[in-house]
Structure 1
Amino acid sequence: MKTKIISAVVVASSLAVSSAAFAGETISVVGSSSVSPLMEVLGETYAKSNDVTVEVQGPGSSAGIRVAHDGSADLGMSSRNLKTSEESPQIKEIVIARDGIAVVVNNNNPVTDLTKEQITEIYKGNVTNWNQVGGEDKPIVVATRDTASGTRGAFEDIMSLKKKINGIKVSAISQKAQVASGNGQLKTTVANNPFAIGYISLGSVDNTVKPLTIDGHKPSVAAIKAGDYSVQRPFIVVYKEGRPSKDALEFLTWIQSPTAQKIVSDKGFISVN
């Protein structure tokens, strides 16, 4: 996904105007589809008062960490902590926000609260009917994210949805689960299916789906800050030491400023200062 700013650069390029003359330095940011919408707003805001263009693409957290390692982008985005295999002394991590993961159902589903254990059993495929968790006698349609998703990785870690096969840790989510490529697609799946359950970024929740309370706690910024709602994860910017331009590092410093962090809060995420 690219910002409107990028489109302006594309138009300028088509008119044979150099991007350097049009908007100065280009800062490339690649990674998590959950972080991307927030990063787009931050990039657009920053570009209004700085001679830069911020290009944002959201193929997933794994891709964001990979581009940080290979240096093919200035900054990577991840919505999960790095795996041990992804860590390196050269890779720097900056938490720019925190986000809750909301477990959502269709608005017509009478279920309003589940325990973490019930959700885990649903995703493992051990609980398959809504009447097993206080709902109607209807089959549960489980929706999940693809394996490159940082949201899925964080969700699996938090909900104990990992298992070992031949000594290798793999996902314990049922192979019968429907797989969505992003927050938007998963939300649409749940909104269109009265028996579906899914999980999305708290910042993506709207009136098309119903977020469940978990162990009696509603997903909210206040509940996350208080430590009551435990299904949460960091939004991280990663980069390779020496790779980002001076402009990219200045942009990253600005993201941590009170001005940028107010944008983080206004967008429904948890600021880091």
Structure 2
Amino acid sequence: MKRKMKQILGMMLLGVFAATMVTGCGTSTGENSDTKTEQKTKTTDNNVTGDTGNLNGTITMIGSTSMEKFANALGEAFMEKNPGVTVSPEFVGSSAGIEALVGGTADIGNASRNLEDSEKEAGAVENIVAIDGIAIVTDEDNKVKDLKKDDLTKIYSGEITNWKELGGDDTPIVVVGREAGSGTRGAFEEILGIEDKCKYANELDSTGAVMAKVAATKGAIGYVSLDVLDDTVNALTLEGVEPTAENIKSGDYFLSRPFVMATKGEISEQNDLVKALFDYLKSEEGKQLVESVGLITVD
């Protein structure tokens, strides 16, 4: 009897021990599973965060010399935010830039004018990113400080050839402009309605060259991008209006043109680097950059 009781008690104790072991293992397994799930989730989140905005590669911009200051500032700011990206700008003129874009040797074609129909038909899409004013400049000693639109037209078409006709000194007018294909020249001549009618003494291949030539030449007159003005030349008022961003935005200053960053196809069709660059330009920081180089935002 006693032996039988001992056997029953032993079996009961064994059952309790087994149940305890099962429960303990179950609890331990559950905790490990939760921990692993949590760790897995954290690892996945970190990977996602690390991949976001991790851009690498090169963006090639080719085109307008008038856009040099803007393009360089944009490239530097974008590369600072994206250390894995190289923005490579080249300044060879608006038409050459669009030609490079269409030909597939540039991601972006910079043009300081509206695109021509033939360029659009070839696949170039016009993306206006800023508005620029065209300033009329003379050498520092010139006494003429203001010109009417008609006066400016007659100077560049060769009808007025001496500053004395405009109340200045008896000095021949030296007409300085840009080379054929320049966006600045195209916009300037189109606004005045004198395409193919200009009588240039000098046709130069960059904005900087125009500034230098006018500054060093008695009686010279030229046109340059508003954002490159400095104290080496006189910037004339036109119809009594100064060439300022405020006057261009209000429409009071008549010489202005768009800065275009053309793409082959819509922006949405471009690679991630190009799309990110345009997104940056649309941001508040991008708009501040546009204004910081003397241009006008399009929004």
The TM-score with structure 1 as length reference comes to 0.85
Q: How does 1:1-273 map to 2 (within 5 A)?
A: 24-50=56-82, 51-88=84-121, 90-162=123-195, 171-174=196-199, 176-241=200-265, 244-273=270-299
Q: Percent identity?
A: 39
Give how far 1:36 is off. 2.1
Greater gyration radius: 2
Whole-angstrom distance in 2 between the partners of 1:77 and 1:26 = 16
Whole-angstrom distance in 2 between the partners of 1:144 and 1:52 = 36
Give how far 1:158 is off. 0.6
**Which structure 2 segments of 5+ residues have no match?**
1-54
Which letter maps to 2:218? P
Moved more, 232-241 or 249-258: 249-258
Deviating 4+ runs (over 4 angstroms):
none
What's the secondary structure of 1:191's corresponding residue?
helix
Query: Which protein has the bigger strand share?
Result: 1
- Report the counterpart of residue 4 of structure 1 in structure 2: none
Whole-angstrom distance in 1 between the partners of 2:149 and 2:120 = 29
Across the aligned residues of Structure 1 and Structure 2, the Cα RMSD in angstroms comes to 1.4
Which letter maps to 2:250? A
Cα offsets for 1:24-78 (capped at 9, x unmatched): 3011000001112201111111101212000000100001111221121111100
Cα offsets for 1:158-206 (capped at 9, x unmatched): 11112xxxxxxxx1111x4211111100000010012100000000111
What's the secondary structure of 1:73's corresponding residue?
coil
